[in-house]
Amino acid sequence: MRVANFNGGPGALPVEVLEEAARDMLDWNNTGMSIMENSHRTKEVMAMAEQAQADLRSLLGLDDSWAVIFCQGGASLQFAMIALNFAGPGGRCDYINTGLWSTKAYKEAQICGAKPRLAATSEEDDFTYIPDAFDFDPEAKYVYLTANNTVRGTQWKHFPPNPPAPLVADMSSEFLSRPLDLTHFGLIYAGAQKNVGPAGVTVVALKRELADKARLDVPSMLSYPIYIKNDSMYNTPPVWSIYVAGLTFKWLKNTIGGLAAIETLNRAKSEALYQAIDGSQGFYRGTARAASRSNMNVTFRLPSEDLEKKFKKEAQDEGMVGLGGHRSVGGLRASLYNAVNQEWVKKLIDFMAEFQRKNG
């Protein structure tokens, strides 16, 4: 029996996707072998990757001015790739710091020799909100932000409207969870293991005009133009991860009905859970300011750490896993990624009410 999976990442995947991947495990596409055994140079694998890219473009509404590539190294490698490609030694760039991952990205830019500066930060209030006032550098090469913060449970509702340079965003934990206006963006990326597929591939979409400005004196495996020129196959790509991501794109398009439809489902899940938290008379306490709350990662605390440990254990006994907060902050967290269904959320809410009755 499958458990209700609230893990922050790797997170839940659609059952339909897992079932299709299982059917293809030994004989994919009548090739007589698994896709993991196929050469990435075969026409079948290349066609699979092309279709995955096409479905992603359709979901995001990307025209030919955008390039889509599949990278390795997780979202964390993008911290350095972005700084190396678009800033370089001495290059000026702005960062908006809303938590752990944007802090790491800022530090990686420093290591790469760039000159990042903070255009805004919410660190003074323990990253409980998304800033709405910015001190942008007019000479910045790009403006970097983290769209959704898995650790603190905050999410951008409205992105900076008039940045002086292209917005660059880590969208890992909210990718494909809602429609996006990408007018001011130059690059978005997402590690697959939250909302798209298994760990191993990072999806990157970037404007071609931004890619044309990339520095050429970076290692080949860190160069966006190299990835674009070679259709993400400069070396052996993470074929399995791309394949499962492609299945997820099809699921979103054909089963769910696109990003507007999945946003409606995601809002219903998060609103129900936040109502349960807010209606508990303080027994459950949300950690993010209401205006900045994430629809993907709901973070909350109980009156004591001992109660939090008891909550996690008893929830796991009831078939609900992954409810512990990030190791850097503790507490509790329910990640409500696309594949987390409403039945799981109702089960959690019912459990929370009973747990409060017994321990409140």
* 350 given a catalytic annotation: no
Secondary structure of residue 43 in the 3-state scheme: helix
Q: How far is CA 328 from CA 40, 98, 101, 320, in A?
A: 39, 15, 12, 22
Q: Does 10 sit behind a cis peptide bond, omega within 30 degrees of 0 on the bond before it?
A: yes
Contact 266, 195 (CB under 8 A): no
Q: Which helix (H) or strand (E) holds 321?
A: strand 320-321
DSSP letters, 195-224, are TTSSTT-EEEEEEHHHHTTS-SSS-GGG-H
* 240 given a catalytic annotation: no
Helix axes 342-359, 259-278, angle to 10 degrees: 10
Q: How far is CA 168 from the centre of its chain?
A: 14
Q: Which helix (H) or strand (E) holds 55?
A: helix 43-60
Rounded CA-CA distance 233/237 in Å is 6
Catalytic residue among 55, 141, 170, 344: 170
Catalytic residue among 28, 66, 101, 344: 101
* 115 given a catalytic annotation: no
Secondary structure of residue 98 in the 3-state scheme: coil
Q: How far is CA 208 from the centre of its chain?
A: 22
Q: Read off the tokens for 352.
A: 């929370």
Catalytic residue among 66, 156, 194, 269: 194
Residues 6+ apart with CB under 8 A from 201: 70, 71, 72, 192, 237, 238, 241, 242, 245
Rounded CA-CA distance 300/331 in Å is 6
Active site residues: 101, 170, 194
